[in-house]
Chains A and B, each alone.
Chain A
């Protein structure tokens, strides 16, 4: 396996080549963040800018989010760095007619599994982390007066443990070699955690999970499925959802946001990574995706041919609940 540092160098080479040959107008990738563990999405328009591209276990945004809603007059042919989940979202965007396959040049990367920075910080309570570097399968965490090694397996994001596709499903060029397709976790064992609870305990668990929500909509903005020009929460006439932090409004927002992603969510984890207060919204969204798998046998974004499950029907679909 190539290290992420080697992959980063290869991404820079490929980006410089594509930009100088004029094959693409822009390369979407990641650049080193100004604080540790916060790599940020970066748009390289020139070969010189391509020098800033990087790749690490802290690339938590889903870059396919930037393929839609691109400002007018900007480049129309873009290259994008895509691991498994991002490529699956690109497939979704093509299926939903948001982009065309020709518009995008995919630099495929096998995902190393991204690290949850909150988990790393939790290992060093009340300490300031000043630098985190990768050394193979370990992180070297440096801070004021300490330096420790942490195995990455311990601090991966929850969705990365149960990833079903680390390799890109579509690509124009592979950077580095392909890896084992999964991390070994079984999503069906951990999806929908509140199903184990009695029906009357579920609301409390739901409230507990979302009680800190400040309605900043970072989860929505980070999500590559949420590309509507006007989101239902921003509409004022009619106002579908109140603007307050009351439990009814918070619950309405999260239930509807999850429902709008039904049959489309690739479990990329961008929403959880974007949340400033660390809400685990996958506890909610995993239920829908589990339903879609069980009822309609569908896993989003795996190929370009299959039809989105909520855009088709079969005569024998379940309907016991309809009287």
Chain B
């Protein structure tokens, strides 16, 4: 419940700086909800695959070294 407030702010902040909304997912899953866990993992991977490789927040070690 406390986390819900923090996640709401974090999500808005990341979208505000331009991280694609589809890369950020939140779910409540109980340890007894195996089926929901499986469905969520599939949905998240699908959504991220559709967006393609990440464009931001990538550190190129050859550039900075």
Contacts and interface: CB of A to CB of B under 8 A. Distances in A.
Nearest to A195: B16
Contacts of A96: none
A71 to B, nearest CB: 33
Name the residue among A204, A246, A321 with the largest chain B CB count within 10 angstroms.
A321
A291 B15 CA distance: 12
Interface in A268-304: 284, 287-288, 291-292, 295-296
A199 B64 contact: no
Interface in B3-19: 4-19
Interface residues of B, number: 34
Nearest to B58: A248
The B interface is mostly helix, strand or loop, or mixed, namely: helix
Given A262-B6, A287-B12, A292-B9, A323 B27 contact: yes
A315 to B, nearest CB: 8
The A interface is mostly helix, strand or loop, or mixed, namely: helix
22 contacts: A194-B17, A202-B18, A203-B56, A244-B59, A246-B63, A247-B57, A247-B59, A251-B17, A255-B17, A262-B6, A262-B9, A287-B13, A292-B9, A295-B5, A310-B5, A310-B6, A313-B1, A317-B1, A319-B4, A321-B8, A322-B28, A323-B26
B60 interface: yes
Nearest to A285: B13
Contact of B9 (A199, A202, A251, A291): A291
Contact of A251 (B25, B26, B28, B56): B56
Contacts of A199: 15, 18, 20-21
A145 interface: no
Contacts of A242: 59, 64
A288 B9 contact: yes
Contacts of A247: 56-57, 59
Contacts of B6: 262, 310
A200 B14 CA distance: 12
